[in-house]
Amino acid sequence: MSLYDKRGVSAQKEEVHAATKHLDQGLFPNAFCKIYPDYLGGDDDYVSVMHADGAGTKSILAYLYWKETGDSSVWQGIAQDAIVMNLDDLLCVGVYDNIVFNSTIDRNKTIIPGEVISEVINGSQAFFDQLKTFGVNIHYLGGETADVGDVVRTIAVNGTMTCRYPKSKVISNDKIKAGDVIVGFASYGQATYETDYNSGIGSNGLTSARHDVLSKFYADNYKESYNTSLPEEVVYIGEHKIADSITFTVEGKPFTTTIGKLILSPTRTYAPVLKVLLANQFDKVHGLIHCSGGGQTKCMKYLPDTFRIVKDNLFTPPEIFNIIQKSSNSLNKEMYEVFNMGCRLEVYCAAEDAEMMISTAKTFNIDAQVIGRVEASDKKELVIKVKDETIVY
């Protein structure tokens, strides 16, 4: 059993999928989000999309950082995480404008004061204001903040996004075909619209990241930060504290930051770049995959046929994933199934259109490259090649 399983979490969410397998799969079963008829407007040319997601256990890292540093602005990053985990899923079905967002915040009021709630709510609005400058309009219509200390140890930050959208502008993934290439967009670096270096960690696998990287100091001093019924050998097994300094190479130059800032890098949105691609090159986008829960294996759920996906030119994983892997001694197979490993968006397209996708990303200072291809096969299969290792899922 992997460390991830021992901690009571699942990269593939098998039980969730089993529970929902008999539900209506919507108009486009291969699309990244469920898409339904326009129930509210009754227009056959439109569809309804509703999506719910959140920052997950990353909020616990923010809690620890805030307690140790007193810096409440860290909660603005958690607000962004909760938004992007919704928004970038919607982007993968072609939606980038005129979206409604409602937040859901559950807190333990004895531990999380109003100051934190204010940072989350105002941070959400500030992020929406930034997105508006790129033509991505999200309307913040409030939500629910509940004091549920008997249920939540610290705080859970989630949200829901809803929109009506033209059916003709849906990315359904049904156009993915053998011969397509996969253009990967990096999750790390510093995009033109980001204020700091982004480690690329996103908002998935943070239970493992937290326990693998941080030391027993946090188990001893912050019992509210973890499930105390877990075996001790999987709880905070790392060597680091949040304020520990670390230096590594970024674009050929030494870069110094802290462990806390690396594991709390706000999840990058690809909305500005995808707004350009979807508005101007819609017909050339065959499919879109947000490599969130399930990491590099996420694509397997949304293929329209029994293809073999070969990823043999992925990015060299950024430093945060090397730190996690060294601390946990996890095999590559588990790492690529839990984390995005430096690539959180995949665009499926014809080979001749790849350079256009890459150059568009680079105008936003987002690294991009052809990371793999789609091959004909009699079964669904994913092959990842990492250095001298071939991993098959």
Question: What's the pLDDT at 25?
Answer: 79
Question: What's the pLDDT at 205?
Answer: 94
Report the alpha-carbon distance of residue 239 to residue 152 in Å, rounded: 27
pLDDT, tens only, 43-61 = 999 999 999 999 999 999 9
With a threshold of 0.85, does the pTM exceed it? yes
Q: How much of the chain exceeds pLDDT 90, in percent?
A: 93
Report the chain's mean pLDDT, rounded to a whole number. 95
Provide the pLDDT confidence category of residue 15 given band limits of 50, 70 and 90.
low
Question: What's the pLDDT at 261?
Answer: 97
More confident call, 50 vs 19: 50
Q: Would you say residue 161 has pLDDT above 60?
A: yes
Question: What's the pLDDT at 103?
Answer: 97
* Average pLDDT of the residues in 245-263: 96
Question: What's the pLDDT at 165?
Answer: 97
Give buried/exposed letters for 244-268 (b at 16+ CB in 10 A, else e).
eeeeeebeeeeeebbbbbbbbbbbb
pLDDT, tens only, 265-302 = 999 999 999 999 999 999 999 999 999 999 999 999 99
Q: What is the CATH number of domain 3-194+265-392?
A: 3.30.1330.10
| β-bridge pairing 245-250 and 253-258 | antiparallel
Report the alpha-carbon distance of residue 52 to residue 104 in Å, rounded: 10
Provide the pLDDT confidence category of residue 17 given band limits of 50, 70 and 90.
low
Provide the pLDDT confidence category of residue 13 given band limits of 50, 70 and 90.
low
Class of residue 364 by CB neighbours under 10 A (exposed 0-12, middle 13-18, buried 19+): middle
> Reading across the β-sheet that carries 35-37, which strands appear in turn?
35-37, 46-54, 155-166, 99-107, 138-147
Q: How much of the chain exceeds pLDDT 70, in percent?
A: 95
Provide the pLDDT confidence category of residue 11 given band limits of 50, 70 and 90.
low
Domain boundaries, the chain: 3-194+265-392
User: Can you give the length of the chain in residues?
Assistant: 393
Provide the pLDDT confidence category of residue 12 given band limits of 50, 70 and 90.
low
pLDDT, tens only, 310-332 = 999 999 999 999 999 999 999 99
pLDDT, tens only, 186-195 = 999 999 999 9
Question: What's the pLDDT at 390?
Answer: 98
The beta strand positions in 251-359, using DSSP E, are 253-258, 287-290, 307-311, 343-349
Report the alpha-carbon distance of residue 340 to residue 202 in Å, rounded: 8
Question: What's the pLDDT at 76?
Answer: 98
DSSP 3-state assignment of 227? coil
Q: Would you say residue 256 has pLDDT above 80?
A: yes
Question: What's the pLDDT at 220?
Answer: 97
Report the alpha-carbon distance of residue 270 to residue 277 in Å, rounded: 11
Residue 50 forms beta bridges with which residues? 162
* Average pLDDT of the residues in 364-378: 98
